[in-house]
Structure 1
C-alpha cells in the first residue's frame, strides 16, 4: 500500500508529503502548474523532504518545469534526483 500524497501550496512554494507515482502524478503536475506564476518570472520552491518515494512519472512532472523550480529534498529522494540529472539542472538544496 502506498502512502497518499499530500500537497500544500504557499507563496512561491509547493510542499509534497507521501509518495509520488503514476497513480497521483497528474495531481502533482496540476499542483505544480497552479503554483507557478503565470508570467514565468518567479522561481517555485518544491519541497520534497517529506516524499518517501518518487517514480519516473513524478520526475517527468519536475522536468517539465526545470527552469522555474528549486528543489529541496531529504535523504530518500535526493539520490533519485541526482541519478535522474535533476540535481544538476535545477537549483537543488
Structure 2
C-alpha cells in the first residue's frame, strides 16, 4: 500500500534474533564490483570472475556518453559461487 506516496511493507512481527538469522540465510547471485579501470570491459569482468563459477551476466556501468562509471555487476548462476568470490 502507499502512505504519503511511498510504498510500505506490512508483515508478521519477527523478533530481532529471528530477523538477523533470516538475513544470514539469504542467498545472493549478484556481486557489486567497484574501483574498476575506465578501460575495463564486460568481457574483462567475465574473464576475471569466470574462474569462480558460471556467470549469467556481467556489465560495466556506463554514462550516456559511453564512458565507464568504474563500477559494475556480475551475476552468477549459483549463489555458492558468490560466497567464494566475496
Q: TM bucket by the smaller chain?
A: under 0.3
TM-score (ref. length: structure 2): 0.27
TM-score (ref. length: structure 1): 0.25
